[in-house]
A and B are shown apart, each in its own frame.
Chain A
């Protein structure tokens, strides 16, 4: 049973069970009175806290992918930077819930920053006046530190991130996730669906190995009823800087992201070509959109950005 605490007495019926606090195994358990009063059976109090905290956030976008290394963090950073640059009155924030492999601090160029506590919660790290970032990377003392946690601890951390960060009034909160369909995703979905989640952008690369996992992620979104804003295909074609020949590094043998989106009945937002300068700019934490304006990736992204904003507005009004 999932709701049996790890330090519970033997034969604990589980905190959510009808007989919690009432069976013989509960005798002598320090939490017996709480269990028998029924308080533990109520909904997670965190859900209400998250809802309250995120009330002042207009759009909450999840960036998901079943596959790792397809560019979730890169896309998250581009999206946030793009949204923030388009309108200086727009407040944008990134929340990185990849607990085991946080990449956002590096990609946003705020590696080694610290978060501070105040009366109203944790203050995020500001990259621009209207762009703030929160990640577990800021809480680690050394880049070598590994977070070796099982699910429940990760969930606790995510709940804290969602309910205790002092974002202020936000127009967009972009949430970067780890690959998979497990603890982090379930927790994020559970808390955010009650707080008015706008939807999810699904990232993929064109080859079948990635699409396999991404189909599972779309199935996950259906199962937990997260609205899908659309699919973005990253690392599509590579243009040789010398001879300008286009090569598909991750060949789309099965039709790529657009065909998958069509088959599964979700919108396809567009393709981003592979530009080595983008990888470098992520490593250095610089703003790719302003630094390399002539890149085909920048051009494709700016077009895509409009579609994402439109999809968000639509999702909100419907």
Chain B
């Protein structure tokens, strides 16, 4: 299983709608632009967003003797993508499955996709601490998983759920690479007044309490939503946005040779 994959990074959050898929795609695209071969696996079966975010909605998955061929987002085949979205006939179709079927699907995604040799596999997850997460964690136990990036928004309601996800990581022994605070503040385009729509500072304090690295704040920028919706790398299209710096830092810290990788799990 996943024999050609060198590193695995999970993107988790207890809360929904905080930007897990956006972070996953931006991370994947940034890795790709740094010259790595990247795979992006979407295990959110009930609400797959990755095909839309990478502008791959009408693509299909093909079979080859080694398994499923993922969909490539670029001509050079450096960014491979797999999602249940590619398997649905109609994009409005709901996947109404209970746990055991979801378990089987994710297992197939992890074992049957022919990723070939990739440097980083990024796994985008649904919100919660249930079937999908347990399945992924169980299957990754035997593999070398680098760890998980937790995404949160600043308000207390979100932080509360992300704390539960942290407990999940602790209980299951997944190292936490760090916390990203998304949707921090909104700068009004007319008067440049910064409003903290979902309050502020929650991610930093969560990282402090939990003793995990804080990876950065990503402000609300409607341009990011637009550029992700076009499948572009916002690091390249809007280099002045703080989001670019955050993702470049994350990629740098993940790619530097790891000394004592266990330090991050404390």
Contact = CB atoms under 8 A, between A and B. Distances in A.
Interface of A: 2, 66-70, 73, 99-101, 103, 106-107, 143-152, 154, 178-183, 185-186, 205, 207-210, 212-213, 215-220, 223-224, 238, 240-243, 245, 247-251, 253, 264, 274, 276, 279-280, 282-283
A181 B97 CA distance: 7
Contacts of B107: none
Nearest to B167: A146
A151 B222 contact: no
Contacts of A210: 17
Contacts of A146: 14, 129, 164-165, 167-168, 171
A186 B99 CA distance: 11
B226 to A, nearest CB: 7
B15 interface: yes
B98 A148 contact: no
Contact of B131 (A69, A183, A217, A219): A183
A149 B135 CA distance: 11
B47 A215 contact: no
Interface residues of B, number: 62
B130 A148 contact: yes
A215 B91 contact: yes
A216 B92 contact: yes
B161 A103 contact: yes
B189 A245 contact: yes
B93 interface: yes
Contact of A241 (B46, B127, B193, B226): B193
Contacts of A73: 157
Given A69-B17, A208-B229, A249-B222, A150 B99 contact: yes
B96 to A, nearest CB: 5
B87 interface: no
B155 A282 contact: yes
Nearest to A148: B129
B56 interface: no
A183 to B, nearest CB: 5
A140 B128 CA distance: 16
B156 A283 contact: yes
Given A103-B157, A145-B164, A243-B188, A68 B127 contact: yes
A279 B202 CA distance: 13
Contact of A148 (B52, B97, B126, B168): B168
Contacts of A249: 186, 197, 220, 222
Given A241-B193, A282-B157, A67 B16 contact: yes
A219 B47 contact: no
Contact of A143 (B163, B168, B191, B195): B163
A212 B197 CA distance: 24
Given A208-B229, A240-B195, A145 B161 contact: no
B191 A101 contact: no
A212 B157 contact: no
B190 interface: yes
A220 B18 contact: no
Given A181-B94, A276-B196, A216 B17 contact: no
Contacts of A253: 226, 229
Contacts of B171: 146, 148
B94 A216 contact: yes
B21 interface: yes
B80 interface: no
B52 A209 contact: yes
Given A209-B49, A209-B229, A212-B52, A243 B99 contact: no
A264 B130 CA distance: 31
Contacts of A103: 157, 160-161
